Structure 1
């Protein structure tokens, strides 16, 4: 949730345009192979807090296991929180000034699929436990691991890039959804925090030992980050709860660190929690002011993200329908004024105005910034 704008067309266009303008075409150069010379470039940075990415032969270098994480997530919020949060964990070990981001190249899709499956006679590499044949929610062996993702962090050596470190995320289930028969009803097995943590740490050591045997990985630091999946019906994504570091070629995790993160939705419904009450009150006041300004609003909701008990980001969605450009322009101007006046002052804020067909406007402020920027999407 650090940068919600990555999911919006405006933010994507800004990133692409900026990256093209600052493309590093000479700092990295080419990488030689026995058959061809592969041209390597980087995307450039839009912010000091973001990594540059790798471009090979004019194309973005995609993951060897591309699409697998998406296939494993029925809740789209989990996918976004997992991938964005994984880079935040990586920044604790691999500084954006010293490392260049590369999508995972060492864990192939077929291998990852075997690791995600249950252990069996035909799949001895499965990280999830053997199927014990039970179908009762409290007696069966649940799937603890839902998704896995690798991120590589490269360093520049002369005119080449080389692997300098690696982060692997393990998405753990707090609820394992299963069926007793194909196309049948869906049942749930709840997994305790203690069990989820112990299984995750055990799997982390197995993953490190296996990656050490993978050609090209060598003795680089490997970070394993543990992520708690949100439930399928959640309106927010899950959160990371721990990460471990394997240093200097070690085949195990040498140190573990706890991560204190939480996600909430506003307005609060029923017995749900809100995080910080003052932040919830600020949003409620903002919501009331916005709803009184324009009569056709069909909903104003927010997702909030907390780190160590402090608000790190708020993503607000406003659903409505405007009938003229002047309406949406005036509304956007008012949103900037209201956001400055009523919303928390230090956290990153993003506001998306949507209709049934498309996104109509976008307003955002970076963490620590004093001002918002805005854009109204036109038809030209």
Structure 2
């Protein structure tokens, strides 16, 4: 019989019995960074997919900028978590500890995200020569008809620290994510107001400019005090359009050896997200789309007038890795919600192959109602009904 989490009290008991004793397991270490002092490394790690984070938590220098510069919440989540996933190619989750970027200052990132200016443009805008360090190309056109898009939308830094035999923790490596525009949005002043226009960026142009910018970023990092000798991983992320309901994806990364300013060869990242159902998913992954449509049809048989089931599928190459399904629905009682959740859990086990991870979130106007998670290659799903 499948296991259902129906009572909050039982869940609390389970968590209290199984949860680690953080007070006994945390380790106090000495930092060797600019602000010397004590730090804490949690010994408990919830998964080998994640890094342990140095405490107390220090927000990144560019905190807040990412929200303004990234098009969608989906892009924001994938940009951050995807960069951590890429970091695992260079930094072992068992040996390194995570810290949000502290080395490249927020002011510097803002300046790097600007366009380059000609001498005349810099003088007109009162930009000092030392501040004219934008990584995006000069606009030789007009406001309404720019000569080129802004390619680079955001720079995200993640720091990785290691501990020596004396318990000292110090910076040991860095990953840099470059978010690139697949669509450049810009505002034009018209008749006392503004309108937003857009310019599509072809992938070859985005890739070329991303790799050019990466070389400049590495040179600038190497010229920064204290960063001349650490290994660096730098990755290119293509943002989705503002209207997209699935995120963009990382498409290439490279590494820079300790003490070097030369990029090693670029490695292709073959990842992509699809919306189910959609024409793009149907054309690229017909069998997976059919499985989803059969699941959707069975859900709608429970509620004949309902057709709101959508899925976001994550692929590596041609292989479906993870499918996140959302079912927004209105229940008229808790028992109805329990019955529906039991029914959907059976459909998950029936329609989707064992090698993929499937999660289903059931929501209503009152908030989340239920969560169903079937991990890859596991026979028993986890089901929680919110009280």
**TM-score (norm. length: structure 2):** 0.86
The C-alpha deviation readout for 1:108-164, integer Å capped at 9, x for no partner, is: 211111111112232321111122233465x62210011110111111113121112
Tell me the secondary structure at the aligned position of residue 146 of structure 1. strand
CA distance in 1, matches of 2:46, 2:276: 30
Q: Which has the larger radius of gyration?
A: 2
Give the alignment partner of residue 124 of structure 1, picking from 132, 136, 152: 132
Residues paired across the two proteins, number: 359
| Range 202-211 or range 212-221, more displaced | 212-221
- Indicate the larger mover: 22-31 or 60-69: 22-31
**CA, structure 1 residues 98+197, in 2 after alignment: closer, same or farther (shift >3 Å)?**
same
- The structure 2 residue matched to 1:84, chosen from 81, 98, 101, is 81
When residues 318 and 33 of structure 1 are mapped into structure 2, their CA distance, relative to the original with a 3 A threshold, is closer
Q: How far apart, CA to CA, are the structure 2 residues paired with 1:178 and 1:199? A: 19
Question: Which residue of structure 2 lines up, in the alignment, with residue 153 of structure 1?
Answer: 160
Does the C-alpha gap of structure 1 residues 23 and 338 become closer, same or farther in structure 2, counting only changes over 3 Å? farther
Q: Work out which of the residue numbers 225, 250, 257 in structure 2 matches 1:215.
A: 225
2:312 alignment partner, one of 303, 310, 320: 303
SS in 1 for 2:189: coil
In 1, the alpha carbon distance for the partners of 2:23 and 2:259 equals 33
1:47 counterpart = 2:54: no
Question: Match of 1:177?
Answer: 185
Shift of the 34–124 alpha-carbon distance from structure 1 to 2, 3 Å rule, reads closer
Shift of 1:254: 1.9
1:264 to 261, 274, 286: 274
Contact persistence 1:297–1:321 (CA under 8 A): no
- Matched with 1:225 is 235
CA distance in 1 between partners of 2:268 and 2:226 (Å): 29
Report the aligned-residue RMSD: 2.5
* Higher relative contact order, structure no. (Cα contacts within 8 Å, ≥ 6 residues apart): 2
Structure 1 match to 2:69? 72
Normalising to structure 1: TM-score of the pair?
0.87
Mark the CA change 1:207 to 1:36 in structure 2 (over 3 Å): closer, same or farther: closer
Q: Once the two structures are superposed, what CA deviation does each residue of 1:290-326 show, in whole Å capped at 9, x if it has no partner? A: 1112356451000111111111111100010112221
Matched residues in 2 for 1:25 and 1:129: separation? 51
Distance change >3 Å, CA 328–CA 255, structure 1 → 2: same
- Equivalent-residue separation in structure 1 for 2:142 and 2:36 (angstroms): 54
Partners of 1:258 and 1:340 lie apart in 2 by 33
Structure 2 residue runs of 5 or longer lacking an equivalent are 1-13
Contact 1:163/1:217 (8 A) holds in 2: no
Does the CA-based 8 Å contact 2:39-2:54 persist in structure 1?
no
- Displacement of 1:370: 2.9
Residue 250 (structure 1) shift: 1.2
Counterpart CA distance in 1 for 2:84 and 2:32 is 29
